[in-house]
Amino acid sequence: MKSLIKISLAAAVLGAFFTSCKDDDDYQTIQSVDKVKIDSVKIVRDTMSVFTVQSIRTYSTYASTCRGFYGYDYAHTGEFDRDVTAYQYLTNGMCSQANHKSTNQINFSPRKKGNYTFRFWNGNNNWITKTIVVE
């Protein structure tokens, strides 16, 4: 019985050791986050009702597979004005240097009637402007 306990204890200790020494190369660390231009925008309906939800899709191109969509900066610059900037991450993993495109979306749910103007950052001082009428 004592040898069974000793073998079980040794197996548990070795199992814990090998689990804690797992190779961390499977995980990539984000090295930086910076702006990525929005190439195009798709708004399905340019007129919608208050309290409904519409997905606004944005399309961006990334320079390698180590880069991808990180998030948006969605700034209310006025009562009905919105500036949208997309951000990309850069990881430290092995990656292909081939360009790849990504589609992402913002869900817009207006709480007030009006003409909403969206400006999507397209690089430098360039913006893609879209308007949604909320009735």
All residues at 6 or more sequence positions from 30 whose CB lies less than 8 Å from its CB, including other chains: 70, 89, 90, 91
- Alpha-carbon gap, residue 87 to 70, rounded angstroms: 5
Is 45's pLDDT higher than 50?
yes
Cα 109 from chain centroid? 19
Mean pLDDT for the chain overall: 87
Q: Global pTM?
A: 0.78
Structure confidence by residue, pLDDT tens digits, 47-103 = 999 999 999 999 999 999 999 999 999 999 999 999 999 999 999 888 889 999 999
Mean pLDDT of 11-36: 65
